[in-house]
Amino acid sequence: MTITNQQSGTNIHEVADGIYRINTPVVIEGAGGFTFNQYLIMDEEPLLFHTGPRKMFPLVRDAVARVLGAQSLRYVAFSHVEADECGSLNEWLAAGPQAVPLCGSIAALVSINDLADRAPRALADGESVPLGVRSVRWLDAPHLPHAWECGFLIEERTHTLLCGDLFTQGGADLPPVTESDILESSEAFRGAMDYFSHTTQARALLEKLASTSPTTLACMHGSAWRGDGAGLLRALADRLAA
Ligand SMILES: [Fe+2]
Ligand SMILES: [Fe+2]
C-alpha cells in the first residue's frame, strides 16, 4: 500500500491484477470513521470506477497519476448519480481530453446527458466494453441498493465486481482487501443507516450479479473483499428478505 497524501491519508493498493483501489479515510461528524474508494482498471484504455466526491478531486487525481503515469484516462464510470459516484466527473473530463463518461442508459437519459461537459457513452444491460486485454460489462441494477439508474461493472478477466455501495462497511481503519467476512459489518452499517430502497427485485438482481461468479468485490466504502462472491451476494439477498 502506498500513501499518496500524508495529510489526508489517501492511499493506493492493487486489489486484483491491474486493479487499484484508491482510498481516503474520513471522519463524519456523528457517524465516526468512513472511507471513500475509487477503482482504477489499467489497460490500453484505463477506466476509473467512481470519481469520489468533488472536493476530493485533487487527492484522487494525484493517486491515479501515480499508476497512470503519462497514460490518460479513457473512461470515467460510475454506478449511480451521487457526489461520491460522479461528483468530480467534469473535473476528470477537463483533465483528460480522451476521457468519456461511462454509465447506464437511465443515468445518461435522466442526468448525465445534461450534467456532463462531454456526452456519455450509455450502456445497455449486459453490454460489454473492451479496454484492451480486458473488458468490462455493465449490469443494470435499478434501485439496488438505491437509485433508478443504479448498475455495476464486472471486469471479466479478474472477475472483479465493481459493486459500489453494496457491502458498505463503516470505519476508517480497514485493510485494503480482506478475505474475512464483510457481510456482518455491512449489515451492522445498514442497521444503523439503511440506505437500501428495498426494491422487490433485490433477490433477482443479486442473482444476476451472482451469475458473474465474482472473486473480488470492489466495495466503494470499506475493504475490498476476496472470496466466493456469488455466495456472499446470495447471503445478502437472504438478509434483505429476512
Ligand atoms: Fe449511493
Ligand atoms: Fe457510495
pLDDT, one tens digit per residue, over 170-218 is 999 999 999 999 999 999 999 999 999 999 999 999 999 999 999 999 9
Residue 241 is inside which H or E element, if any? helix 229-241
pLDDT of residue 37: 98
Span from the CA of 174 to the centroid of ligand 2 (angstroms): 16
Write phi, then psi, for 83 (nearest 5 degrees): -60, -45
Span from the CA of 95 to the centroid of ligand 2 (angstroms): 23
Q: Which three cell numbers stand for residue 179?
A: 478475505
Asked if residue 111 lies in contact with residue 149, where contact means CB atoms within 8 angstroms, the answer is: yes
Span from the CA of 80 to the centroid of ligand 2 (angstroms): 9
For ligand 2, a single-atom ion, the residues with CB < 5 A are 84, 165, 220
Q: Please state, in angstroms and rounded to a whole number, the distance separating the CA atoms of residues 22 and 220.
A: 10
Q: What is the mean pLDDT of residues 159-171?
A: 98
Count of alpha carbons within 13 angstroms of residue 219, beta-carbon side: 26
Asked if residue 142 lies in contact with residue 106, where contact means CB atoms within 8 angstroms, the answer is: yes
Span from the CA of 85 to the centroid of ligand 1 (angstroms): 7
Span from the CA of 82 to the centroid of ligand 1 (angstroms): 6
User: In this structure, what DSSP letter does residue 226 have?
Assistant: E
Q: What is the mean pLDDT of residues 89-115?
A: 97
pLDDT of residue 38: 98
Q: Please state, in angstroms and rounded to a whole number, the distance separating the CA atoms of residues 133 and 128.
A: 13
pLDDT of residue 71: 82
Q: What is the mean pLDDT of residues 21-47?
A: 95
pLDDT of residue 70: 78
Counting runs of H as helices and runs of E as strands, what totals does the chain give? Answer: 8, 15
Average pLDDT over the chain, rounded to an integer:
97
Exposed, middle or buried: residue 7 (CB in 10 Å: 0-12, 13-18, 19+)?
Answer: exposed
